[in-house]
Amino acid sequence: MTEEQPNPALLPAGLADLLPPDAEREAALVEALMGVFATHGYDRVKPPLLEFEDSLLAGSGAAVAEQTFRLMDPVSQRMMGLRADTTPQVARIAATRLGGVPRPLRLSYAGQALRVRGTELAPERQTAQAGIEVIGGMAPEADAEVAVVTAEALAAVGVSGFSLDVTLPTMTPALLDAAGLSGTEANRLARALDRKDAAAVASLAAGRGPVAALLPGLLEAAGPADRALAALAAADLPPGPRAIAENAAAVVRAIQAAAPTLRVTLDPLEFRGFQYHVGVAFTVYGPGRSGELARGGRYLSQADEPATGMTLYPDAVRRAAAPAPRRARVFIPLGGDRAAAARLRGQGYATVAALSATDTPQALACTHILRGEEAAPIQE
C-alpha cells in the first residue's frame, strides 16, 4: 500500500508561481509605472505586509475585513492582518508619521495584497498592486490627476486602447433618498438599477414622483462622458444629486483638458463594487476583453480626511502590454574571455558561463556564442 502524498507542485487555489519571462516582465512594468508616478511628485512608501488588524481594518479597510487573513502575533498576543489592500495602510502613514506634512500629500506604493477567497471570475488570492494616493483637499483636479497620471503610466509601458469609466457611487442612494424612497421599495429599485433592467426600473419608478421619474433616463444616459454629462445637466436634479453631477462634470472636464485623446465613459447610476467611495469612482478597462487594469476614486482617509487615488493591477497590465523581447544569451565557454563577456553585458546581452566541460550552449538556452571578443549567433 502506498501512502498518497500531496503533489509538491500543487499550490493552494488562487496562488501561483510567475515563471520566466513573466516575473521579470511584471517587475519591470511595476517599476516603469512607479517611475511615471514619481515624475508627477508621488513619493513612494512601503508599509509592512502584516500589521495589527485594528489599524489595518480601520476606515476604508473595513471594506476588506472579511477578505483579510488573520494571524496571532506571538510577540504582542494581538491579532495581525495580512493586507488585502494597501490604501488603508497609506491612510495610516499619511495620518500618523506624515501627519505633519502639508497637504495635498502625494504618495505611491507597490506590493502584494492577499485575500482569503477568490471569486469565480477572479480566482487569484495574491494580487500585485501599484498605486497612487492624493491625501488632503476636495479639488476635482486631484481626482482628474490620478486618472490622467494612470493613463500616462499605462501609455508609457505600451498599453493602448484602454478606457476610463467614471461612476458616481453616491448618486443612486442620493436620488432614492431625494425621491423619498426607502426600505423594500428603494431596495427593489436599487437592484433593478444594478441589473440595468430598464423595464423594471421604469415600472418601479412610475408614479413615484418627479425624482424617481428621472431614473429611466439617467440609466439610459450611461456611455460616452459628454453624452452622460449632458443628460445630467438637462435633468431637473434635486440639490444633493445636482452637486454630485456638477463635481463629476468638473472632474471629467479636467481629465479631458489634460488627456484629450483618452476615451472616458460615465455611468451615472452604477454603484456596484465601490464600497468606500464618496465621490467619483474610476475603473480603467483594458483593450478588448483584457479586464480591469486599475480601480480608484475618491474616499475618506483616516479621521475623514478627503483623499483620492488609483490602484493599478500589474498582472492585468502585463497581459495588456506587449511581451518584452527576450534578451540574447551568449554562451561563454569555460575559461572564456572575461573582459569580452563584460563588454557584451554592457551592450545588453546576457552572458551565460559554462560551469563545467559538459555545459553546452543548447542546454543553457543560448542564442549566441562568444567567438574571439564577439557574440556570434548560433545557427539553428
Residues 87 to 106 in contact with a copy of itself, rule: CB under 8 A? 89, 92-93, 95-98, 102-104, 106
According to CB under 8 A, which one of 65, 126, 319, 336 is a site residue for a copy of itself? 126
Chain residues 138-167 in contact with a copy of itself, contact rule CB under 8 A: 139, 141-142, 145
| 185 contacts a copy of itself (rule: CB under 8 A) | no
Q: Which residues contact 325 (CB under 8 A, 6 or more apart)?
A: none
Could you give the CA distance from residue 86 to residue 312 in angstroms, rounded to a whole number? Answer: 11
CB atoms inside a 10 Å sphere around CB 366: 23
- Verify binding: residue 66, a copy of itself, rule CB under 8 A: no
* Residue 314: exposure state from Cβ atoms within 10 A (0-12, 13-18, ≥19): buried
Q: Which three cell numbers stand for residue 140?
A: 476635482
Sign of CA dihedral 233, 235, 237, 240: negative
Report if residue 376 touches a copy of itself, rule: CB under 8 A: no
Q: Return the SS3 of 21.
A: coil
Min dist. Cβ of residue 44 to a copy of itself (A): 4
187-192, long-range: CB < 8 A, 24+ apart: 189/215, 190/271
Is the CB of 172 or the CB of 247 nearer to a copy of itself? Answer: 247
Of 357, 298, 367, give the one whose Cα is nearest residue 331.
367
Side-chain half-sphere CA neighbours of 221 within 13 A? 24
Task: Quote the strand ranges of 254-305, DSSP E.
Answer: 263-267, 277-285, 292-300
C-alpha 86: how far from chain center: 11
Q: Report in angstroms how near the CB of residue 113 gets to a copy of itself at its nearest.
A: 10
Alpha carbons 149 and 43: distance in angstroms, whole number: 14
Residue closer to a copy of itself (CB basis): 77 or 184:
77
Please state the closest distance from residue 167 (CB atom) to a copy of itself, in A.
22
Is residue 195 a contact residue for a copy of itself (CB under 8 A)? no
Nearest distance in Å: CB 333, a copy of itself: 12
Question: Cα(87)–Cα(71) distance, rounded to whole angstroms?
Answer: 20
**Minimal distance, residue 37 CB to a copy of itself, in Å:** 10
Among positions 352-371, residues that touch a copy of itself (CB under 8 A) are 352-353, 355-356, 359, 362-365
Q: Which stretch binds a copy of itself (CB under 8 A): 69-77, 232-240, 245-253, 291-299?
A: 69-77
To a copy of itself, the closest distance from the beta carbon of 257 in angstroms equals 8
CA 41/CA 149 separation, integer angstroms: 11
C-alpha–C-alpha distance, residues 167 and 274, integer Å: 9
Name the DSSP class of 136.
Answer: S
Alpha-carbon span 15 to 13, nearest angstrom: 6
In the complex, minimum distance from the CB of residue 48 to a copy of itself, in angstroms, rounded to a whole number: 4
Region from 134-142, 198-206, 216-224, 293-301 binding a copy of itself, contact rule CB under 8 A: 134-142
Site residues for a copy of itself, 255-294, by CB under 8 A, read 258
Contacts with a copy of itself in 213-232 (CB under 8 A)? none
Within positions 313 to 342, which residues make up the interface with a copy of itself, using CB under 8 A?
327, 329, 334, 338
Q: Which is nearer to a copy of itself, 86 or 172 (CB)?
A: 86
- Residue number with CB closer to a copy of itself (149 or 211): 149
Q: Does 238 bind a copy of itself (CB under 8 A)?
A: no
Using CB under 8 A, pick the residue from 1, 2, 4, 17 that binds a copy of itself.
Answer: 17
User: In whole angstroms, how close is the CB of 211 to a copy of itself at the nearest point?
Assistant: 32
Q: Which residues contact 195 (CB under 8 A, 6 or more apart)?
A: none
For the CB of residue 130, give the shortest distance to a copy of itself in the complex, in Å. Answer: 11
